[in-house]
Structures are given as structure tokens and as C-alpha cells.
Amino acid sequence: GPPPYGRYGQPQYPPRYYPMPRVKEDPATVGDYLLFALFMIIPVFNLVYLILAAVGGPRYKPSMTNFARAVLILLAIGIVIVVILGIILAVSNAAFPSYYGYKFY
């Protein structure tokens, strides 16, 4: 093919692509985390708030969105562990009925 030279014998370089400058985002403050912890005390509202914060949106800071996602993941892992342990205990109790519980003659 033709040599990689442009006009006037100057070498052709590929265009440089610069990444978009990142917009600085305000991190969550201590007050944001305290408010988050306060909301987690309220029984039904805590799940609604967790889901809304995990989905994100313009109202929530990205650090709080990531934190809410992490809390939901840990909550799901805890539920799975409790269900597995419950199944194991139920099966072991059914396998050895004479060792556990009361005997009625």
C-alpha cells in the first residue's frame, strides 16, 4: 500500500482519543450514614429505603447507592445461609427423632 505519509511528506499519526474528564461527585457525609442507620431501625420502611437507595437516582449519592447495594447483598447472603441451616436442622431432626424432642408413649 501507500506509505503512511500525508501531505508534504509528514508522517500520519492515528488520532488521539482522550477520556472524558470525570465529574467530581460529593462523597456521602457522616450525617448521610447516620440517617441511613436511623432509617434501618424502622421495620418496613428500611426495606423500601434500601431498595430505593440501591436503585439510585438523582436524590442519592453514588457512594450511598453502592453502600445500599452492599447491604442488600449481605442481607440476601444471610437469608440464604439461614434457609440452608434450617433445612439441615430439619433434616437432621427428622433423621434422628429419638434423640431430640419428647417421646409420648
Where do the structural domains in the chain lie, given as residue ranges? Answer: 26-94
Which of the two residues, 101 and 16, has the higher pLDDT score?
16
pLDDT at 57: 84
Rounded CA-CA distance 73/65 in Å is: 12
Q: How far, in Å, CA of 40 to CA of 48, rounded?
A: 10
Radius of gyration of the chain (CA): 29
Q: How many CB atoms lie within 10 A of CB 68?
A: 20
Mean pLDDT of the residues in the chain: 85
Q: Which of residues 20 and 76 earns the better pLDDT score?
A: 76
Tell me, yes or no, if the pTM score tops 0.75. no
pLDDT for res 103:
61
- Report, as an integer, the average pLDDT of 85-102: 77
Of the ranges 25-29, 73-77, 91-95, the best mean pLDDT one: 73-77
**Tell me, what's the pLDDT at 29?**
92
* 97 or 24, greater pLDDT: 24
